Structure 1
């Protein structure tokens, strides 16, 4: 609607302003013309009255003087009243051409304080007002009366009065009023056209600027406003275009920062969650999403990011908001340990939310536990042989072993324990080198038939003593494999020794070598007691022993399977175990074909 637009408001403002000014000006002009006409008529009537008085005074012939006076006044819309003497009733003459004006009696003139001054003071007087007339007139009783003193026959008692109706003056003023109205109407029309033209000229750039602002609001920051003028609006267009360029630069920079921050968050190993001041989730990265999914799974809920979080995190958020400082907690979830550090986010002086960093400390805790267990196991493994060495050495020193046979037995024990300590140290050194990546392999092309038979023969005596049947099978007797034979023999020796020792009498131990397309599969299978299900995930850990009932003297160091795993992995292979209590165990490892060495 036009009154809601800038064009309409500007046009209406100019019209109202011009109309107001013209109205005031018209009123003033009308008043001026009315006063001007009255004043001019009064002056003219005064001159006419003086001329009539002069004619009456100069001519001795009264009739000739009156005829001359009537001729002089006949052309003016006035009526003349000549009074020779105010005291007598004779000597009063009225102009024959009355112009529709009635007679005014002498009593009315004498009864007026202003008009009576002509007789009393000998002054020329002018007055306009309503006067009582003798008869009905064609005009209103509002008259303009001019009176001048006159001497007749040397007497100062005479006067000449001219009066005319103000309606005649009003007619003249009305013509001027009509002209003023016409001029005011023309001025308003011209002003309307000019105001509309001016407002459209002013608002056309503003409309283009509004369209450009709409485009900018839609994200088109490269929109430009054409500069059609060189005034303030043109400068506004330049400023708008500059603002658009700056906004485009700022939005581009913000998008780059946002993408950079998103890339940083996505590539972080730690989880990050940002919260608003109500505790609702604003953004997450992949590790944090995995944490939430694990919690949703544990709670049996559907994935609804941003609706629910663990109560520990909620409590941490409340503490951060209340205390306005960083807080830390630890959450156990799905067997994993998470450390959560939450920091408040500020909006100038108030808190607008918080950011939480989730670090998965499971592996660090596991490694720390392994380190502690390693130290404890090494200490424990070394304490027994050292104590035995110390005890039997003291027996020799104190001559407790008196006979040569006893001394030889004690010396044999000391020797066995020293060998055991040596094996433990060597295995620890080997394992440390392997885990540090310093395991140097010496590859050679090995004939698996001869290789397997040689290893099986090594355990034939032990198997016979324990009444265990030992078997060997190779799927392809011509198969060759590029390996470090000493290291793979070490692996098989460890697996076969464990299998024979854990298989009861009349049991069976088999070494099965299967040739595959991309490598060779080695299986060591026994019919022994098996490994408990709870111990299966840990059998390849250092110092871990599934059979805790066996005495330490007859058991190994607990490093054999850990070393075996490292040897297999150094050959780019994989090792695994499958077992059931009472049904036996199968250790399997796969060695891929190696490129030419």
Structure 2
């Protein structure tokens, strides 16, 4: 685990650099020193060999003092090396030992003699000396470095020529010296280098640890900052106060955290806005992946589908499979085209608008379905059609009567004054019906547009109801329906528009009589409390439960048969008039049990 840490790698690298550098420099200097030492020893041996060679050359005819065993011992001691002197053929010429001596030939060459003593430098020349003799006999100096079997170690052999009077080579001087001193010196230098390396490694490791910590401490801080950012904490900062590249990296990381924080905040805001927009859409939205698996839904879909919120995705997938829209979804992802289909679901009619989700590269990444509950719009469309049919019928009937009466008068079919008067009365009655129809349409339009104003004044509601009942009594008598109303004394007046209040009670009473069979009673009752409550009860056939939610809608008629008169605007107008007076209206009805209308009006 330690080997994976950058601090260890930096420390080891620093120590390795120091070690390699010192080894390289030490090795270089050792080789330089060894070369210098060899070169110095070689120069010294050559110089001494030249001195001996010059001495021999100068004393060719006066050899007496240099003869014998002592001379060779003198040369060995003086040169600190083994000395061999050969003749012009490379044979040892100056040897000492029992019966041996040294002499010069008559022709100026070197010869042999004898004198008592122990052998010195006797026997054959070493291999290293034999290698240099041929070159020396040519009149050139020669140097050889090799392993000597005589000393059992490396030796340095030098050879120089001995020149005669005529500058011809009359012999050679060979010096052989072991390099024991040089090797020992080199080995000592290597020991000193090793000790220096060990000593140098101690501060190297210390400096390595120091600089590694200086380097890794900000890295650890940046690592912690990056981990915090990965956890979503964009407020964290590295806080590195340095002017080098590491400090720049830390500042860049802090800037990145700040920019990410700002960007993420914006993304969350946009996501929140998008979520709010999707949640506020009244239509249901379902997102699908490429496998047609639902991924997400908005809050409107459970209400449309009559399912709990949140809508379980497995249940949603089951419901959508039951609706049979998967084939269309597959077609949408393949054709990249929008498809609109209508499906029946429970008691509703749903419209699905299926669209592909296409990315910026033109690839389909999924699909989305917009689910609309068009039951109300379908119902309103049906109401509109019914309204057009009813209005057409309501207009056509009076116009037919008026047209027929006018044609009869114009053609002379009706020429008696009494008949003409009755035709005119019928046309006037039908004209009044048309006027009421147009008035209702205009009133409803003004009420919905908020353009109908009230002329408020103190209104005594019992008196208003008595007048209304009295004006409708004739119509009630013709249908065989009795209106029962007993005014209650002591009812305080309320602030309202007399004509509009009378209009709304006429609508309720007219409906009660219209749908009540003969020999039944319509009851009007006033109860004073916190509000003035007016109850209108009939004994008619009642209203079906499925029609009750829609009776206040314009153009709606619970009885859709052509025998039903009216345009379906009355209750819509009455409800608007009650609300215009800051009141409330409710209706309770059961089939075969009649209907009860309750109108609650404030006093002011």
Normalising by structure 1, we get a TM-score of 0.80
Q: CA deviation at 1:511?
A: 0.9
How big is each residue's C-alpha offset from its partner over 1:305-350, in whole Å with a ceiling of 9 and x where there is no partner? 5873535665554344323354444455452544636352414453
Secondary structure in 2 matching 1:114: helix
2:533 match = 521
Q: What SS is found at the alignment partner of 1:93? A: coil
Q: Secondary structure at the match of 1:529?
A: coil
Asked if 1:127 is matched to 2:127, the reply is no
Q: Does 1:573 align with 2:583?
A: yes
In the alignment of these two chains, the number of paired residues is: 575
| Contact 2:283 2:301 survives alignment (8 Å) | no
Match of 2:38? 38
Shift in CA distance, 462/207, structure 1 to aligned 2, threshold 3 Å: closer
Q: Which residue of 2 aligns with 1:423?
A: 436
Query: Does residue 116 of structure 1 match 2:127?
Result: no
How big is the shift at 1:571? 1.6
Q: Is residue 491 from structure 1 mapped to residue 498 from structure 2 by the alignment?
A: no
Unpaired stretches in structure 2, ≥5 consecutive residues: 99-118
User: Contact 1:80–1:94 at 8 Å: present in 2 too?
Assistant: no
Which range moved further: 382-391 or 529-538? Answer: 529-538
Relative distance call for 1:8 and 1:90 in structure 2 (3 A) is: closer
- The corresponding residue for 1:136 is none
Shift in alpha-carbon separation, 1:24–1:208, aligned structure 2, 3 A: same
In the TM superposition, 1:380-395 aligns within 5 A as: 380-395=393-408
For the pair 1:243 / 2:256, whether they are aligned, the reply is yes
Q: Which residue of the other structure, out of 459, 463, 479, is the alignment partner of 1:446?
A: 459
* Two-structure CA RMSD over aligned residues (Å): 4.1
Superposition pairs for residues 301-450 of structure 1, below 5 Å?
303-305=311-313, 308-309=316-317, 310-311=320-321, 314-315=326-327, 317-333=329-345, 334-338=347-351, 340=353, 342=355, 344-354=357-367, 357-358=370-371, 361-401=374-414, 406-450=419-463
Query: Which runs of structure 2 are paired with 1:432-511 in the superposition (5 Å)?
Result: 432-459=445-472, 468-473=481-486, 477-511=490-524
Please show how residues 209-224 of structure 1 align to structure 2 within 5 Å: 209-224=222-237
Following the alignment from structure 1 to structure 2, what is the Cα–Cα distance between the partners of residues 587 and 87? 156
Separation (CA, whole Å) in 1 of partners of 2:92 and 2:574 = 164
CA displacement, residues 37-78 of structure 1 (integer Å, 9 cap, x when unaligned): 333323322322333444555463335786466346426652
**Residue 469 to residue 350, structure 1, CA distance change in 2 (3 Å):** closer
Change (3 A) 1:123 1:223: same
Equivalent residues of 1:568, 1:574 under 8 A apart? yes
Change (3 A) 1:172 1:103: farther
Per-residue CA shift, 1:398-421, capped at 9, x if unaligned? Answer: 333466665555444334333332
Cα offset, 1:577, TM superposition: 2.6
Which is further off, 60-69 or 314-323? 60-69
1:444-467 CA deviation, whole Å, 9 max, x = no partner?
323344444444444555556665
Q: For each residue in 1:172-205, what CA deviation from the matched residue of structure 2 results, as whole angstroms up to 9, or x when unmatched?
A: 3322332333344444444444443333333333
Encode CA deviations 1:102-121: one digit per residue, 9 max, x unaligned. 97655345997524327743
CA distance, structure 1, for counterparts of residue 463 and residue 135 of structure 2: 168
Q: Deviations over 1:288-320 (max 9, x none)?
A: 4222443263xx998215873535665554344
Q: CA contact under 8 A between 1:280 and 1:306: conserved in structure 2?
A: no
Unaligned ranges ≥5, structure 1: 96-101, 134-138
Matched, 1:60 2:77: no
Q: Is the 8 A contact 1:42 1:144 kept in 2?
A: yes
Task: Provide closer, same or farther for how the CA distance between residues 37 and 541 of structure 1 changes in structure 2, counting only shifts above 3 A.
Answer: closer
Asked whether the equivalents of residues 119 and 157 of structure 1 are also in contact (C-alpha less than 8 Å), the reply is: no
SS of residue paired to 1:308: helix
Instruction: Work out whether residues 337 and 362 of structure 1, in 8 Å CA contact, stay in contact via their aligned partners in 2.
Output: yes
Q: TM-score scaled to structure 2, two decimals?
A: 0.79
- Structure 1 residues 563 and 107, CA, compared in 2 at 3 Å: closer, same or farther? closer
Contact 2:279 2:300 in 1 (8 A): no
Say whether the 8 Å CA contact 1:276–1:354 is kept in structure 2.
yes
